[in-house]
Structure 1
Amino acid sequence: MIAIVNYGMGNLRSVQKAFETVGLEAVVTHDPEVLKASEGIVIPGVGAFYDAMENIKTLNLEESILEEVSKGKPFLGICLGMQILFDHGYEVEKCQGLGLVEGDIVKIPEGRKVPHMGWNQLNINQESAILKGITPGTNFYFVHSYYAKCHQDVVVASTDYKMDIPAIVQKDNVWGIQFHPEKSGKSGLKILKNFGELI
């Protein structure tokens, strides 16, 4: 069973339906006991970094999330859920994230349309089980105004937006996806299925 963390932000049901479409059981929850009983954890999200972290702390979820990750449980962050994996975010005001991946979430620089919205090609930087069956140049659906400024060694895949924007990051048992797999057709579903196979 995959636990989808409900912290009051994001399209939780559409992510749940996407997992169900590929034959994976997924429950939406903010119960630490359900997180503990799960075989994998997913944090989706739409909105601001600061609000997300405030909600996670208010619901007393931060400790449970970090504890389950430390056990080696497969963990996936989607869009805003990916961004809060990092050390700090600068949306609204500087805010501490979960600190699972080294780096900061900063605004997309001037000279590019913000938000970055629409279909963009994936450039694959390194092999990862999350990308099984995905070929370079496959399009995925992005919607975001901030991006991960991080070390290249954690960047599994990127997209070109007049700069390289990390599209998938990985550190040990933690994966982050900047685009929305649940809105990216068959290729997005394939990535969610790949995550399920990591469990």
Structure 2
Amino acid sequence: MSSTVALLDYGSGNLRSAHRALEKVGAQVTLTADPHTVLNADGLLVPGVGAFEACMNGLKRVHGPRMIGERLAGDRPVFGICVGMQVLFERGVEHGSTAAGCGEWPGVVERLAAKTLPHMGWNTVEHPENSELFQGLSPGERFYFVHSYGVRKWDFPTDGPTTPPLVSWADHESDRFIAAIENGPLWATQFHPEKSGDAGLALLENWVRTL
């Protein structure tokens, strides 16, 4: 049977394109904010477009942080895209205002230091050789980005009992930022795999295959 994916509907994100891309790679997709459906699906995809604080407010309205936390506590896969990745960090700073995130990872989402913003278009990603997310993809593959904010510093402890996350990076005008993370059941990308053509579909297929 096809893996089931709950596409979290909280008022933000490229829902249509994400829904279509997941179906193309063989997932059975439900657009929903229903807790029972979200918690029982094989995978949960958290999209996100717009401002950090607005996305967090939308997530809170549907109890998104709680559902994400419950899934991860049960080792149930979650995938965040763009701002859906950013809200997984401790906090975001935009226009002088600080908003709390889900706190699954340490770190601050902040404005990129590049002169040309937003960072919009195709870019390469530097990923670890043992990455499951990028398995089968060449180092030169390009993915589609649309953002002005990102996480530029990674402070995850390396001396704990668990395996450290795999972190992938990208560069925009010499400003380096996190492009993707693989952390047990929690994966995320700053770029939009659903808008990244065949490479993005291959990446999503890699995730769906793990469900």
Q: TM-score range by the shorter chain?
A: over 0.9
User: Does residue 1:194 correspond to 2:190, yes or no?
Assistant: no
* Distance (Å, rounded) in 2 between the aligned partners of 1:169 and 1:23: 23
Q: Which residue of 2 aligns with 1:114?
A: 117
* Helix, strand or coil at the partner of 1:120: strand
Q: Which residue of 2 aligns with 1:91?
A: 94
**Residues 41-77 of structure 1, C-alpha deviation per residue, up to 9 Å, x if partnerless?**
1101111110011111122222122111111111100
Whether contact under 8 Å (2:112, 2:175) holds in the other structure is no
- For structure 2, the residue ranges without an aligned partner over 5 or more in a row are 156-163
The counterpart of 1:76, out of the listed 71, 75, 79, is: 79
The counterpart of 1:65, out of the listed 65, 68, 73, is: 68
The counterpart of 1:160, out of the listed 171, 183, 186, is: 171
The counterpart of 1:147, out of the listed 142, 145, 150, is: 150
Identity of matched residues, %: 37
AA aligned to 1:94 is T
> Is the helix fraction higher in 1 or 2?
1
Normalising by structure 1, we get a TM-score of 0.94
Aligned residues: 198
The counterpart of 1:16, out of the listed 19, 42, 49, is: 19
Whether contact under 8 Å (2:153, 2:177) holds in the other structure is no
Whether contact under 8 Å (1:4, 1:43) holds in the other structure is yes
Normalising by structure 2, we get a TM-score of 0.89
* Distance (Å, rounded) in 2 between the aligned partners of 1:135 and 1:157: 14
- For structure 1, the residue ranges without an aligned partner over 5 or more in a row are none
* Distance (Å, rounded) in 1 between the aligned partners of 2:26 and 2:183: 26
User: Does residue 1:183 correspond to 2:181, yes or no?
Assistant: no
